[in-house]
Structure 1
Amino acid sequence: MRLPVLFLLITVMIDAMGVGLIMPVMPDLIRDVQGGTLAQAAIWGGVLSTVFAVMQFLCSPGLGNLSDHFGRRPVLLVSLAVLTLDYLVMALAGSIWLLLLGRVVGGITSATQATASACMADLSAPKDKAANFGLVGAAFGLGFVLGPLVGGTLGAFGPRAPFYAAALLAGANFAFGLLVMRETVTDRIRRPFTWARANPLCAFRAVSNLPGVRPLLWVFFVYSVALYVYPAIWAYFTQERFGWSTQVIGLSLALFGVTVALVQGGLIRVFLFRLGDRGTVIFGLVLDAISATLIAVIASGTLALILTPIAALGAVVVPALQGIMSRRAPDDAQGELQGVLTSVNALAMILSPLMMTTSFAAFTAESAPIYLPGAPFLLATVLLLGALALFLRARSSVT
């Protein structure tokens, strides 16, 4: 594997790990700096997560446009350097306001995945883009698995230890990138930076005007809202429905993440070869809808564990969609496109937990018309079928 590609994959993996590393210790860290009860810490934790997602939504198109003008290398390296300092600040934070500032900065610099995806698009032949985006997804999935495991282990040394570890990882990758990363934006594809296109709404408009991309952005958004049912509700649902312990919940999430990494890192090439990009998206949407429906209605925790890796096969959707849209974007707009996709994903990350937790509460409360803890997964099924309908409607523009 070429060293620049390895750097890109490590960057994405560390981005995912950095979030997962700190998740197990955030309740303890918030109480350490703020005091109060676990319930109060949970409220602040929700605020910090929302702020992170909002800043990612607002700033990702701007950083994508910056990478189209100044290049992928400086944007990636500056983001990693700032992220390293951000983790150190959070490790040393003595107030909740410093933690809040840390999440603001973290959300701004979290565009590393978008810029890395744009750089991967630069390095890929058109026919290889979807498969190579799968590698990026696999790296993110691996980081998603490793982060909480390492963070939980380091948490035994105190709630600040994972932040130092995250800073060390980001700093080491910055040094690696400084040595091996070459610039992929040449004068042929370099585009002037304008503040107007850094605005998320203007960036959406610009990307939406690309031939055949607008309906695919809607597919991507609806799909993302549906799939966030897993991180938003899985721990609550499995505890309510099956009585799972935190260890079993963690095992199921790790199983899901490992399967996603295997699918996007290798199996997706088989799907793309057999089904093509369009067929792969349809297969993934149908499988996800079936899996969500089954999870909503089954009463066996064992069956839920068996379904977990099967559901993860639907992870072929995102890289296949990315590949279709990337081929429709000119070379000088790859960063903008990936920035918009990151913003769309962040918007889904803001909206989906509210929808899923509300539906869960409504159908598990004593006053619920029927007891149905799987209601969020049925809602996800409806959204997935909606995404499938949107995609089939756009079939004339998708090859």
Structure 2
Amino acid sequence: MSVDSSRRALAVVFVIVFVDLLGFGILIPVIPLYALSFGATEFVGSLLIASYSAMQFVAAPFLGRLSDARGRRPVLLLSLTGSVLAWTMFGLAGSLAVLFAARMLAGAMGGNIATAQAYIADVTPPEDRARGLGLLGAAFGLGFIFGPALGGFFASEFAVAAAGSVFPAWLPATEFSLPSFAAAAITGANLVAAYFLLPESRPPEARAASREADGESRLAELADALRTRGLGTLVVSFFLVSFAFSALESQFIFLTNDQYGYGATENAVLLTYFGVVIAVVQGGLIGPLTDRYGEYRIAIVGAAIQVFTLAAVPFAPLLGEYLPSVGPLLPVGPTLPAAVVALAFVVTPLAFGNAVTNVSLNTLVSRSAAADEQGGAFGLTQSAGSLARTFGPALAGLLYTAVDFWAPFVLGGALMIPIVVLLARLDVSLLSGAGETTPAETPE
């Protein structure tokens, strides 16, 4: 693939992932309340949220291997089609059971991220892979920035009333159904664009070789890679990063509500700021940083930063006692209390550390797998992340209520310590094409 063709393909994949995450993000503020509207308890609503990651865990390796054998393009088109169906079912759901079925189907189709990562590995040389995967991370960040805002708009009284005036009688127009239909429509437009604009990245001969390979032998090959080529260390690290960070994602709003009295609007501003930092780092800074220091060092530094910043989040008000308040950032606006300034002081490096760690780990995973194993390797890491996001929030919520508000955040920081140790002991020479000078590694 030529340089121009590679850039066009990267741009198309960026848009596909961004729009896919935009559709997903629209429903973030809707899902818990939607479950409660059917009489579900908060615990059942949490299970509804977790069901997405659980199905993503099951489906990601299958979709990754399928993309190795059949091509990236058909798998991406299939997953987008399934997402349109899932979000439509979500809007039409007349029972909690249908809601769960739609959410689980959406999670299974959400396993396409591994295929998108493999697509980028196909069209980028090893030295540019971190930059390409960083763009994918930026698409994630932007999707989560704009998605919830759109969800809030479509759930507003104005939007619901406008839709109700034009929808036929059989089509519900509620604060829950309208965001679901909007997600389906956006994903449907994404499907049409991908059908016409997305080229296949995997050569026919490579797909044929993957189809001829025995399924069990390919699984055995990946298992062998886990033991001998450093992939095992990377997958464990990816799991721990996702598990630790899920503590922040699931408990942050509870924390800010308890400590600052913040509601949905204030938290939306904080989360948007967090997403902007991640998008800027992954979309612009990760390439130059990797060129200068290499993925290996960046991954270790990012994990080390999170050891301290994750654990510091619940103690930001104490730090705020030593910081001044900040006047209005705009000509008209509120003064930022010192505790909020301290919180921003903590979450900014936290967002930076998380952004560089995720991209660097994904890049190292790509380098650890052969060309015909990219989809399977990314599927494995995607499954590890999904499994972590399935069980991590449950444990974090238990610690928050049964121990104290600081417990899940301190645990998250502590879980970053073994990541630093594992990566420091990783023999990077075992990763094909690592191509960077590293300190002396300790044999595993």
Task: Give the one of 276, 286, 291 matched to 1:273.
Answer: 291
Aligned length: 384
Give, in whole Å, the separation in 1 of the partners of 2:257 and 2:155. 23
- Counterpart for residue 197 of structure 2: 180
Q: How does 1:1-399 map to 2 (within 5 A)?
A: 2-32=7-37, 34=38, 36=39, 40-156=40-156, 157=160, 158-190=175-207, 191-192=210-211, 196=216, 205=223, 207-209=225-227, 211-299=229-317, 300-314=339-353, 315-364=355-404, 373-395=405-427, 397=429, 399=436
Give, in whole Å, the separation in 1 of the partners of 2:21 and 2:424. 32
Q: Deviations over 1:333-391 (max 9, x none)?
A: 11101111110000110121122112211233xxxxxxxx2221111111011111111
Unmatched 5+ stretches in structure 1? 365-372
User: CA distance change for structure 1 residues 87 and 325 in 2, over 3 Å: closer, same or farther?
Assistant: same
Give, in whole Å, the separation in 2 of the partners of 1:240 and 1:56. 32
* Mean CA deviation greater in 139-148 or 12-21: 12-21
TM-score by length of 1: 0.91
Q: What is the letter of the counterpart of residue 21 of structure 1?
A: I
Give, in whole Å, the separation in 1 of the partners of 2:24 and 2:77. 19
Residue 265 of structure 1, CA deviation: 0.3
Give, in whole Å, the separation in 2 of the partners of 1:383 and 1:376. 10
- Counterpart for residue 171 of structure 2: none
Q: What is the letter of the counterpart of residue 35 of structure 2?
A: I
User: CA distance change for structure 1 residues 142 and 198 in 2, over 3 Å: closer, same or farther?
Assistant: farther
Give, in whole Å, the separation in 2 of the partners of 1:322 and 1:354. 25
Q: Deviations over 1:293-324 (max 9, x none)?
A: 32232312331023222211111011111111
Contact 2:16 2:190 in 1 (8 A): yes
Contact 2:10 2:132 in 1 (8 A): no
Computed over aligned residues only, the root mean square deviation of the Cα atoms, in angstroms, reads 2.0
* Mean CA deviation greater in 277-286 or 62-71: 277-286
User: CA distance change for structure 1 residues 206 and 99 in 2, over 3 Å: closer, same or farther?
Assistant: farther
Secondary structure of the structure 2 residue equivalent to 1:175: helix
Q: What is the letter of the counterpart of residue 10 of structure 1?
A: V
Give, in whole Å, the separation in 1 of the partners of 2:265 and 2:187. 28
Instruction: State which structure, 1 or 2, has the greater radius of gyration over its C-alpha atoms.
Output: 2
Give, in whole Å, the separation in 2 of the partners of 1:197 and 1:150. 46
The sequence identity of aligned pairs, in percent, is 30
Residue 209 of structure 1, CA deviation: 4.4
Q: Deviations over 1:159-217 (max 9, x none)?
A: 11111111111111111111111111113422127654898xx6862551461211121
User: CA distance change for structure 1 residues 206 and 163 in 2, over 3 Å: closer, same or farther?
Assistant: farther
Give, in whole Å, the separation in 2 of the partners of 1:167 and 1:197. 38
Contact 1:207 1:337 in 2 (8 A): no
Q: What is the letter of the counterpart of residue 393 of structure 2?
A: P
User: CA distance change for structure 1 residues 385 and 290 in 2, over 3 Å: closer, same or farther?
Assistant: same
Contact 1:139 1:261 in 2 (8 A): yes
Q: What is the letter of the counterpart of residue 14 of structure 1?
A: V
User: CA distance change for structure 1 residues 57 and 125 in 2, over 3 Å: closer, same or farther?
Assistant: same
User: CA distance change for structure 1 residues 289 and 73 in 2, over 3 Å: closer, same or farther?
Assistant: same
User: CA distance change for structure 1 residues 93 and 245 in 2, over 3 Å: closer, same or farther?
Assistant: closer
- Counterpart for residue 367 of structure 1: none
- Of structures 1 and 2, the one scoring higher in RCO (CA 8 A, sep 6+) is 1
Residue 291 of structure 1, CA deviation: 1.2
User: CA distance change for structure 1 residues 72 and 396 in 2, over 3 Å: closer, same or farther?
Assistant: closer
Contact 2:138 2:282 in 1 (8 A): yes
* Mean CA deviation greater in 332-341 or 6-15: 6-15
Residue 143 of structure 1, CA deviation: 0.4
